[in-house]
Structure 1
Amino acid sequence: MAPFRTAAAACALGLILTITGFSHTASAQTQSETPTVAPLAVGLTDGGSAEAQVIEAVRHADILTIKLRFKPLVAGKVERIYDSISKSDYENSFYVLAGSKKHLLLTDSNDKPLTNPYLVIKTTNGSATAGSWHGRFPAPPKDVTEVSLTIPGIETLDAIKITDR
């Protein structure tokens, strides 16, 4: 009876290794087949702890929405990108340049800019992102297909391709 148990145990072990090996292969194939979306534009934060990546620039009707994520470059850092948005900041530091025309952030009914009121990022070990940002601007004309984005604390992000929806 012992040889039968040994053979059965060997078959069971072989089956487990085959299934485990197959699942690792399937998992590896799934991960490698999932495309990583390349950022539309990148720039460093002033403190150098993260890379600002434009992940979306969508023109819908008369609004252009731009979204950023921050990819950590240095672990264990907290960086204040901006603390608040003063009237002067709003007019001079938050805008999209479309051709030679400057478009300021849109505001709500209380004259508050349609963006994050402050931006602080935190980089940690193993984290894919350190924060995010979004802003809404008047959409440039349809013949404008690229813009540049300026916000405080980040290098100007140029040649951002617009997607129409």
Structure 2
Amino acid sequence: MSVKDTSSEPAKDEETPHQRLARNVNELLSELRVAQAGVQILFGFLLSVVFTAQFRQASGFEKGMHLVAVLLAAASTALLTSPAAWHRILFRTGRRWQILRAGNRAVLAGLACLAAAVTDTVALIAKVVYGPVAMITVGSLTGLLFIVLWFIVPIGMSRGD
């Protein structure tokens, strides 16, 4: 009885490198849908605040914090939507690897901007409602929560901790 060498052929339950790359790109684009929803809600909230009477009475510092949050949300939007645009423009050029590599970096930067925008917004709300001590405390705790859950936990998981 002879055994056929199939080491160069993928088993039926394995992926070829091309299939894996296509799946990874599709997974990246699917993950973006979750993050984009959060950015859209935050961005809409931040844009609508400007048109309230209370905003006109805000201090320069508070308006500055708001502008920073808007800019971070805009950057997050641009970074989190760019891989979809790249895929749409380049999908027939065989550049999935480049889309995936650059897209991964853009998503991580976009998530960092989103975390910073949410943190800034929460800190601003705490400042307006309770004052500067609450702003520092609540803002620090919010930022720490994002850092731990979005970045430290996955690093620990990748190390097997």
TM-score tier after normalising by the smaller chain length: under 0.3
TM-score, structure 2 normalization: 0.25
- Greater strand content: 1
Instruction: State the structure with bigger RCO (CA 8 A, min sep 6), 1 or 2.
Output: 1
Larger gyration radius, structure 1 or structure 2: 1
Q: Which has the higher helix share?
A: 2
